[in-house]
Structure 1
Amino acid sequence: MPTAPRRAPSAGIHPDPSKSWLRRAWPLLRAHRLMLITSLALSFVGLIVQVQIPNLIRIGIDRALVAHTEPLATYVWLIAALALVQGVINYLARLYLLRTAYELEYDLRNVVFGHLMRMSYGFYDRVQSGELMSRATSDIRAVQMYLTFGPSILVQCMIAVIAFGLMVSINPILAVVAMATMPAIAVLGVRMRKAIFPVSWLIQSRLAGVATVVDENIQGVRIVKAFAGEQGQVDTLARAADRVRWAYTADAKLRSRWIPVMDNLPRIGLALVLLVGGLMVLRGQATVGTVVAFNSYVLMLQPPFRMLGMIIMMGQRAAASSQRIYEILDTKADITDRSETATPSPRGELHLRHVHFVYPDGTTALDGLDLHIHPGETIALVGATGAGKSTVGRLAARFYDVTEGQILLDGVDVRDYPLATLRDRVGIVPDEPFLFSVSLHENIAFGRPEATRAQVEAAALAAGADAFIRDLPDGYDTVVGERGYTLSGGQRQRVAIARALLVNPPVLILDDATSAVDVRVEHEIHESLRTLMTGRTTIVVAHRLATIGLADRVVLIDGGRVVADGTHAALLATSPLYAQVLATVSEEEPVA
C-alpha cells in the first residue's frame, strides 16, 4: 500500500550553541505560533470568564439573600451560562494546545532522527544506541511538554493577576491580605529551581543508562541465552535501576521539601481572609458576599500556585533534556558532501593510493595500502583476521574517510562524489546482513523502493533466494521478524545479496557474504554471480577456496598492506604466507 509522503519539519533548532536552550528552540515555537497563540488567547478569555463567577456570587448573596432586592434565579442562570461559556472556551483552548504539542513533537523527532541518519559510522562507534533512544524519546517529550504546556501554565497563573485586580476593586484591604503570601512563594520558587536542576539532569542521564542495558539485551538476547547469562543481565539492569531509583528518591525529597510549602501558603492567605474579613463584616466595613467571594478567589489562586511549582520542575527537566538533545545536534557528521564535482560515467575502476586508515578507537587497519582494480575485474581479498580486508570496502563506499592517501573511483577521489551517487556506484554486502521488520519485497527493494515485483524477483533469483522465499506462507510479502531473525543466517545473506544486486552498482563488494550458507547453496549463488559479475568490478572478501575461485586475481593483505598479488595458483606456489592463511580455512570444495 502506498504511503503518504513524509512532511518535512516546519522548523529546526537554532545552530548557535552559545544561545540559551529556549532561544535555540524558538524557531520551533515560532513555526507553530499561530496555533499556540490562539490556544493561549482562548485560555486567557476563559480565565476572565472564570473570575466573574465569584463576583456574581458576591452580588447575588448581597442583593438576593441579604437585601432581598433581586431574585436569586437571575444569578443562578447567569452563573450557569458563564460556566457553559467557560467550558466551550476551555475545550477549544485545550484542543489547539494539544495540536501544538503534537506538531512540536513531530518536528523535534524528525529533526533529531534526520540528524542521526546523517551521522557517520564513526559516531555510532562511539555512542551507545540506548543513549540515543533515550534522547530521541523521553528527552524530546520533556522539551515538548515544557514548550507547549509551560506557556499555558503561565497563562493559567495569570488568573492571580486578574483575580487580584477584581479583589482590589471590591475591597483593597482584603485584596492585600489575600495576596500577602505571594512574595514568599516567589522566593521559594527561585530556590526550588536551583535545587532541582542537577537532579533533573541526573535522572535523564541514568534513564538513558537503563535504556542502553535494555536495548543491548534485546538485541543480544541470543548470546545471553546461549551463555545462560540471564541472571547476570538481570543483575546489571537492577544496578542501573538502583541508580535511577536513587536519583528519583533525591528528586522526591526535594519535592517533598518544597511542594507542600508552596501548596499551603495560599491556605494561609485563606485563613487571613476569614479572620480579617470576618472582623470587617462585624464592624460593617464589608459584606458577607464579599467575604464569600474572597474565599472563592483565594481557593481559585491555589491551583496556579501549585502549577507554578510544576512549571519550575518542568523547566528544569526540559533544560536538562534539551542539553542532551543539543549534544547530538551539535555533533557534526565526519562524512559529508564536500563538493558538487561532476561525476564521470561509471566504469568501475578503483585505485587505492598509499592508503592509511586508523579507526576512531586508535586501531590501525591499513598502513600504506596500494591497489589498482581495473573495470570489470573481480579480485579476492585474502588475509588473516584483522588484516584490513573489510576496511577496504568500507573506505571505498566512504563509510569512513582515509586517514592518509587517496581512493579514486573512475579517476575521481571518492570524497568528491556526492554521497548518494557514490553509494549507488559502490554496493556492499556485509558479512552480518541486517534486515528490517518489513516484507521481503521491501527488504530487497530497500535501495530502489520503486522497483517492480518482477525486478525484485529477478534479483532474488540471481542471489539464490527466490526458491526459499516462494516456499514461505506469504512469499515475497512475508514480513520477517526483527533484524530478520525469523530467517536462517544463509537466507538473510541471500536476501542481502539480492538487495545489493537490485541496485546494480558498477562496483560490488561482497564482504564474506556467503559465509553463512552451505556449500551447495554457495555453489548456486556463485553460478549466478559469475554471470552478474561480467562487466562489473567486484571485490570479494574471501575466506573459502570456493569464493576465491570466483576471482580473476587474488590480493593477499597483511599488516594493512598488499604483500602478494596474482592468481591463486601463483600465490600458492610463491607465497608461504598465503598458504598459511589458507591452511586456517576449511576447504569445503576445490577451487573451480
Structure 2
Amino acid sequence: MTAARLFLWIFSARRALLGALLSLAVGVAACELAIPWLLQEAVDVALGHGAPSSLNRIGGMMIAVICGLYVVHCLLLRVEARVLYEGIFRLRQRLYTHLLSQPLAFFSRKRTGELVHRVVSDTSVFEDNAVYLFSDLPFELLTGAGVVTLMALTDVRLAVIVVFFLMVASLVSAYVGRPLPTLRKSLQTVGAAFTARLQEALSGIRTVKSFGRERHEIARLDEENRRFLDLDLKEGRVEAFLLPVFDLMELLGVVLVVWYGAHLMIENRITAGGLVAFLAYMEILAGPVSRADSYYRHFQHCRAVSERLASFLSESEVLPARPAPMLPAGAATEPSSIIFDQVSLTYPGSERPAIDRVSLAIRPGEMVAIVGRNGAGKSTLMDLLLRFYDPTSGRIVIGGSDLRTWDVDQWRETVGIMTQEVFLFHATIEENIAYGRLAASAAEIEACSLEAGLGGLLKRLPTGLQTVVGDRGNRLSGGERQRIALARLFLKNPKVLILDEPTTHLDGEALRDVAQTMVRLSAGRTTFLIAHRPEIICLASRVVLLDNGRVVAEGTHEALFASEPLYASLLASWARDRTRRKREGGEVAGAGVA
C-alpha cells in the first residue's frame, strides 16, 4: 500500500460527508467573496456612481451575508470534524487490528516500543497535521480560486501580477522545502527507537537499579535524544529559509498592486470602489498565501507519516491456511489424540533446527511431562502445538486431522496454557480470571477462583475479586499470580492443557497447593507438563526427554531415572541449583498481597 492510497482509504469511507464538506466550503467561500463586491458597490455609490438610496439595501445585504457566513462556517467545521476524526478512528483501528493479527514470529523480530510508537505516536502526528489540512485548506483553496477569478474580472493585469508572485513563491518554497519529507520520516524513525529504548529501560527497571546502571541507561537515552536534536536543528534551518518567503512575496505584491492600481484610477480605467474591492480581495488572499508554507509543512508531515504507516501495514505475515476450516467433529467436547509426525522446525536465519524430526503420540486425556535442558526445544514444541509457528517439515495431527487444516482461533479455544511468568493485566482479579472466557458470569468466575485456591486471598482483600492487581500483577506474590492463572484455565475449560514450568518460582506450601490444583485441573484433559522438579514430573504418566531438539528417551520417571544418565544428571543439577537459591533467599514464597 502506498502513502497516497492509505490517505484516500482513511477519508473515503463517508463519501456523502465529503460531498457535504465540499458544498459547505463553496458556500463559505462565496460568502467571503461577496463582501468585497458589496464594498465596491457601496464605495462607488458613496462617490456618486449610483443612487444614494441603495446604500441601505447594500448594508442590509452585507449583514445578511455575514450572518449566513457564520451559519455555513459552523456547519462546515462540524462536518470537517466528523470526516477527520472518523478517518483517524479507522486508521487507528486498522493499525492495531493489523498488529494483533500477526503471528508470534512477527513480534519476535520487532521491538515492542517501536510497534507502540507506530500505533500511538505516528497516528497522533498524522492527526495533528491532518486537522489543519482538513479544517482550512479546502476552504482557502476555493477562496483563493474565487479571489483570482474576481480579480481577473476586475482587471486582468492586476490579477496577472498577483498570480505571478504566487507562482514564484510556490516554486521557491517547493525548492527550499525539499529536505522536509526526509527529515520528518527520519524524526519518526528516531522517535520509534527512542520509545523502544525508554520502554525497555522502564520494563527492566528492577534489573537497572539492582545493577546500579541508571547512568548507563541515561547515556543510552541521551544518544537517541541527541539524534532528535540533530534532526530538529536541520529542520529548523530549512524552515528558517522557507518561512519568510511568503511574507516577502505578500508585501511585494501589495506594494505593486497599490502602485499599479493608483495609476489605473488616475487614467479612469478603474473606479475607487474597484480598487477598494481589489485591495479587500488582496487582504483575503493574503491569509492563504501567508499560511501556504504552514500547509506545505503539514502536508509534508502527513506524507512522511503516511509513508511509514503504509510501509508498516505492508508488513504482514500470515500462517498458511489449507481448506477445511471447520473443527473436526467431536473435538470441541472430547479430548483428542495428538500426534507429532517427524516434526522439524528451523527458524529463519538459523542453520540448526530447533526441533528435529520429533515423533510422539499422546493419547486423549494423558498427561505427558516434557523434560530437557535449557534450549532443548521444550517450549518450541509447545509453540508448534499452539500453531504460533508451522513445522518446517512433518505434521501435527489432532484427532486425525492435520493441525494446519484447523481454524486457528477454534483450535486455540480448545487449548489452555500456563507459563512460569504469568501475565496479569492492570485490572481486577475478576477481569483477569474472566480473560479465560469473556462471557462468563460472576458466579462462574467466583466458583473457578475458589477451585483454584484463591479463597483465602479473597477473604483477606477488602474488595475481593474487585481488587486491582497492579501492573503485571505486581501487588501479588508469585503463588497468588499462579492461582489466578489456574482460575483462568478452570474458567476456560480447555480440552488440551500446556503447563510450561508453572512452579518454577514457587516452593514450600505454595508449591504443594499449586501442584494439587494442577492435578484437579488436568483431570480428563490431554496435558503437556514442562517441568524440572521431580515432585512435579511425577504427576505425569509418561516423561519425554528432549535434547538438541530431538526425543532421546521416553518412559516413566522411575524408568528414565534408572536408565538415562542425562535425565538423572539434569535432576541432580536442578536439585543443586534449587538448594543454592534457597540458601541465597531467591525463592518466592506464596504469601499475601505485596
- Structure 1 SS opposite 2:397: strand
- Corresponding residue number in structure 2 for 1:246: 230
Q: Give CA deviations for 1:104-160 in whole Å, capped at 9, x if unaligned.
A: 011111111111111011100111112112221232344456666536514412212
Select 2:205's aligned residue among 207, 221, 227: 221
Whether the 8 Å CA contact 1:379–1:555 is kept in 2: the answer is: yes
Whether the 8 Å CA contact 2:10–2:88 is kept in 1: the answer is: no
More displaced stretch, 272-281 vs 169-178: 169-178
- Corresponding residue number in structure 2 for 1:440: 429
- Structure 2 SS opposite 1:180: helix
- Structure 1 SS opposite 2:164: coil
Q: 1:32 to 1:187 in 2, by over 3 A?
A: same
Q: Give CA deviations for 1:459-500 in whole Å, capped at 9, x if unaligned.
A: 223333342234223211222222222222322222122212
Query: Is residue 2:77 matched to residue 1:89?
Result: no
For structure 2, the 5+ residue unaligned runs are 580-594
What CA distance in whole angstroms lies between the structure 1 residues aligned with 2:393 and 2:404? 13
Query: Is residue 2:345 matched to residue 1:345?
Result: no
Query: What is the identity, as a one-letter code, of the residue corresponding to 2:509?
Result: R
Query: What is the identity, as a one-letter code, of the residue corresponding to 1:349?
Result: S
- Structure 1 SS opposite 2:376: coil
Query: Is residue 2:416 matched to residue 1:427?
Result: yes
What CA distance in whole angstroms lies between the structure 2 residues aligned with 1:228 and 1:364? 38
- Structure 2 SS opposite 1:492: helix
- Structure 2 SS opposite 1:163: helix
Matches within 5 A, 1:199-218: 199-218=183-202
Matches within 5 A, 1:440-519: 440-519=429-508
Q: Give CA deviations for 1:393-448 in whole Å, capped at 9, x if unaligned.
A: 11111111112221122222211110111112221112212111222112111131
Q: CA deviation at 1:184?
A: 0.6
What CA distance in whole angstroms lies between the structure 1 residues aligned with 2:307 and 2:459? 50
Q: CA deviation at 1:46?
A: 0.6
Select 2:276's aligned residue among 268, 292, 296: 292
- Structure 2 SS opposite 1:31: coil
Q: CA deviation at 1:330?
A: 1.8
Matches within 5 A, 1:161-240: 161-192=145-176, 194-240=178-224
- Structure 2 SS opposite 1:586: helix
What CA distance in whole angstroms lies between the structure 2 residues aligned with 1:111 and 1:495? 32
Select 1:383's aligned residue among 372, 397, 407: 372
What CA distance in whole angstroms lies between the structure 1 residues aligned with 2:376 and 2:504? 18
Whether the 8 Å CA contact 2:126–2:306 is kept in 1: the answer is: yes
Aligned-pair identity in percent equals 32
Select 1:52's aligned residue among 23, 27, 34: 34
What CA distance in whole angstroms lies between the structure 1 residues aligned with 2:176 and 2:454? 63
Whether the 8 Å CA contact 1:507–1:537 is kept in 2: the answer is: yes
Matches within 5 A, 1:539-550: 539-550=528-539
Normalised TM-score (structure 1):
0.90
What CA distance in whole angstroms lies between the structure 1 residues aligned with 2:459 and 2:347? 42
For structure 1, the 5+ residue unaligned runs are 1-16
Q: 1:46 to 1:458 in 2, by over 3 A?
A: same
Q: 1:341 to 1:168 in 2, by over 3 A?
A: closer
Whether the 8 Å CA contact 2:166–2:289 is kept in 1: the answer is: no
Whether the 8 Å CA contact 1:457–1:466 is kept in 2: the answer is: no
Q: CA deviation at 1:68?
A: 8.9
What CA distance in whole angstroms lies between the structure 1 residues aligned with 2:348 and 2:475? 34
Normalised TM-score (structure 2):
0.90
- Corresponding residue number in structure 2 for 1:37: 19
Query: Is residue 2:261 matched to residue 1:277?
Result: yes
Whether the 8 Å CA contact 1:153–1:308 is kept in 2: the answer is: no
- Corresponding residue number in structure 1 for 2:345: 357
More displaced stretch, 123-132 vs 52-61: 52-61
Query: What is the identity, as a one-letter code, of the residue corresponding to 1:40?
Result: L
Query: What is the identity, as a one-letter code, of the residue corresponding to 2:25?
Result: S
Q: CA deviation at 1:242?
A: 1.4
- Structure 2 SS opposite 1:356: strand
- Corresponding residue number in structure 2 for 1:394: 383
Query: What is the identity, as a one-letter code, of the residue corresponding to 1:138?
Result: S
Q: CA deviation at 1:49?
A: 0.6
Select 2:82's aligned residue among 66, 84, 99: 99
Whether the 8 Å CA contact 1:143–1:322 is kept in 2: the answer is: yes
What CA distance in whole angstroms lies between the structure 2 residues aligned with 1:503 and 1:204? 41
- Corresponding residue number in structure 2 for 1:117: 100
Query: What is the identity, as a one-letter code, of the residue corresponding to 1:471?
Result: R
What CA distance in whole angstroms lies between the structure 2 residues aligned with 1:486 and 1:327? 40
More displaced stretch, 234-243 vs 66-75: 66-75
What CA distance in whole angstroms lies between the structure 2 residues aligned with 1:516 and 1:566? 27
What CA distance in whole angstroms lies between the structure 2 residues aligned with 1:336 and 1:98? 41
Whether the 8 Å CA contact 1:44–1:156 is kept in 2: the answer is: no
Whether the 8 Å CA contact 1:434–1:483 is kept in 2: the answer is: yes
Q: Give CA deviations for 1:243-283 in whole Å, capped at 9, x if unaligned.
A: 11211221221122122102331221111111112233334
More displaced stretch, 45-54 vs 276-285: 276-285
Select 1:131's aligned residue among 103, 109, 114: 114
Whether the 8 Å CA contact 1:437–1:482 is kept in 2: the answer is: yes
- Corresponding residue number in structure 2 for 1:10: none
What CA distance in whole angstroms lies between the structure 2 residues aligned with 1:145 and 1:495? 42
What CA distance in whole angstroms lies between the structure 2 residues aligned with 1:251 and 1:94? 31
More displaced stretch, 340-349 vs 35-44: 340-349
Whether the 8 Å CA contact 1:349–1:374 is kept in 2: the answer is: yes
Q: 1:292 to 1:170 in 2, by over 3 A?
A: same
Query: What is the identity, as a one-letter code, of the residue corresponding to 1:351?
Result: I
Q: How many residue pairs were aligned? A: 571
Q: How large is the RMSD of aligned CA atoms in angstroms?
A: 2.4
Whether the 8 Å CA contact 1:101–1:145 is kept in 2: the answer is: no
What CA distance in whole angstroms lies between the structure 2 residues aligned with 1:468 and 1:201? 51
Q: 1:581 to 1:303 in 2, by over 3 A?
A: same
What CA distance in whole angstroms lies between the structure 1 residues aligned with 2:547 and 2:292? 67
Whether the 8 Å CA contact 1:197–1:317 is kept in 2: the answer is: yes
- Corresponding residue number in structure 2 for 1:562: 551
What CA distance in whole angstroms lies between the structure 2 residues aligned with 1:179 and 1:218? 56
More displaced stretch, 87-96 vs 275-284: 275-284
What CA distance in whole angstroms lies between the structure 2 residues aligned with 1:23 and 1:226? 49
Q: Give CA deviations for 1:339-387 in whole Å, capped at 9, x if unaligned.
A: 3244132323221122212234526422222222111111211111111
- Structure 1 SS opposite 2:476: coil
Whether the 8 Å CA contact 1:375–1:536 is kept in 2: the answer is: yes
What CA distance in whole angstroms lies between the structure 2 residues aligned with 1:67 and 1:568? 112
Query: What is the identity, as a one-letter code, of the residue corresponding to 1:121?
Result: L
What CA distance in whole angstroms lies between the structure 2 residues aligned with 1:117 and 1:196? 32
